């Protein structure tokens, strides 16, 4: 089916220089989305995220909220994150972005950027190449950093290298049908898909090499794994690790460390590790260390597991 594209230029303060599909209100639906054609459009989107959001004035108008944005062509040399505040829009890819984003990760490893800093709605079908010298590939925090809703990341592919997680550093929402092919390396809390999980990770695959050079050495939240590094609660369902995983302690193919709460468990279901997993202590194909209120159901390890102490096919250790 052919879609007639009408190029319309919008030009006024704090609004993107985008073209639109015809019919209806600008950006109100996916079929009438703002079209992103250039690197400049991405930078304008980031500027709009920064200037239309005010955490101290929740009644301030947010023109991008619930709007739709379609990536219309591959864009290379993306050198900055798309905003430093919440992205309340819906971003649809089906094209590729190639990032070259640098950040001094050693200065502040817990506020490092990704392509998007914070997500409250949707990112769908985006392919990311290149490198991001920061906390994650696509999204740093899949939630509002000032409270509120978390978003959905679906059908995305990360091929970029970074220092924390292939898809999202923190996840309070839903990540589904995503693939990480990029290598991820850092000190601890390193995951092929997610670093810290409080939400849902469904039907995701990691093929990239994941390395946490000092995992397990910084308290409870410090694992390394092919899918999720650490979690206080949430679930991982139908996920597969095919990549090589290396760390110090709390190392696993699927989930490095799991510690549910009294009311909300960690659930790992129908997952497979076929990757090579290597660590020192508490090393496993599925879950490195089980702390509290965690269940593992119908999971299989076929990968080679190497370690010195507390080495298991399904679980490395329990506390």
318, β-bridge pairs: 290
Instruction: State pLDDT tens for residues 79-95.
Output: 989 988 888 899 999 89
Read off the tokens for 159: 């091929």
Over residues 147-164, mean pLDDT:
90
- CA distances 272 to 206, 227, 285, 286, 302, Å, are 11, 10, 8, 7, 8
Domains contained in the chain, number: 1
Q: Tell whether 299 is covered by a domain.
A: yes
Report residue 133's pLDDT band, with 50, 70 and 90 as the boundaries. Answer: confident
CA distance 31 to 209: 38
Task: Say which residue, 113 or 279, is predicted with more confidence.
Answer: 279
Residue 13 pLDDT more than 70? Answer: no
Describe the strand order of the beta sheet including 194-197 as a list of residue ranges.
Answer: 86-87, 116-119, 139-142, 168-171, 194-197, 228-231, 255-259, 287-292, 315-318
Count each helix (H run) and each strand (E run) in the chain, helices first. Answer: 1, 40
Query: What number of other Cβ atoms are within 10 A of residue 247's Cβ?
Result: 33
Give the domain range for residue 183: 73-318
Q: Tell whether 64 is covered by a domain.
A: no
Residue 50 phi/psi, 5-degree rounding, is: -70, -40
Looking at residue 12, its pLDDT comes to 31
Q: Which residues contact 88 (CB under 8 A, 6 or more apart)?
A: 53, 62, 64, 65, 66, 120, 121
Global confidence as pTM: 0.89
> Which range has the top average pLDDT, 103-107, 194-198, 262-266?
194-198
Query: Rounded to a whole number, what is the largest CA-CA distance in the chain?
Result: 64
CATH number at residue 272: 2.160.20
Task: Say which residue, 135 or 287, is predicted with more confidence.
Answer: 287
Positive/negative CA dihedral, 114, 116, 120, 125: negative
Over residues 16-39, mean pLDDT:
74
Read off the tokens for 145: 């950093």
């Amino acid at each position: 089916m052919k879609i007639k594209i009408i190029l319309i230029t919008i030009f006024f303060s704090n609004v993107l220089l985008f073209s639109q599909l015809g019919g209806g209100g600008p950006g109100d639906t996916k079929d009438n989305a703002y079209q992103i054609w250039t690197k400049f459009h991405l930078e304008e989107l980031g500027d709009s995220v920064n200037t239309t959001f005010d955490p101290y004035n929740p009644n301030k108008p947010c023109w991008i909220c619930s709007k739709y944005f379609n990536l219309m062509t591959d864009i290379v040399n993306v050198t900055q994150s798309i905003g430093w505040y919440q992205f309340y829009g819906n971003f649809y890819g089906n094209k590729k972005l190639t990032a070259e984003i640098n950040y001094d990760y050693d200065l502040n490893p817990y506020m490092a950027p990704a392509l998007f800093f914070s997500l409250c709605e949707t990112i769908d079908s985006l392919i990311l190449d290149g490198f991001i010298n920061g906390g994650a590939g696509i999204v740093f925090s899949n939630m509002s950093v000032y409270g509120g809703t978390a978003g959905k990341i679906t059908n995305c592919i990360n091929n970029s290298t970074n220092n924390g997680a292939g898809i999202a550093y923190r996840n309070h929402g839903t990540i589904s049908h995503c693939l990480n092919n990029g290598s991820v390396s850092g000190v601890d809390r390193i995951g092929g898909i997610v670093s810290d999980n409080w939400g849902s990770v469904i039907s995701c695959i990691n093929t990239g090499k994941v390395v946490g050079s000092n995992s397990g050495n910084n308290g409870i939240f410090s694992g390394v794994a092919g899918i999720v590094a650490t979690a206080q609660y949430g679930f991982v369902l139908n996920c597969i690790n095919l990549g090589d995983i290396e760390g110090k302690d709390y190392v696993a193919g699927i989930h490095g460390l799991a510690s549910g709460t009294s009311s909300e468990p960690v659930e790992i279901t129908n997952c497979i590790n076929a990757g090579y997993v290597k660590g020192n202590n508490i090393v496993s194909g599925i879950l490195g260390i089980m702390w509290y209120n965690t269940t593992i159901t119908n999971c299989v390890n076929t990968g080679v597991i190497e370690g010195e102490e507390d080495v298991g096919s399904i679980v490395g250790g329990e506390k």
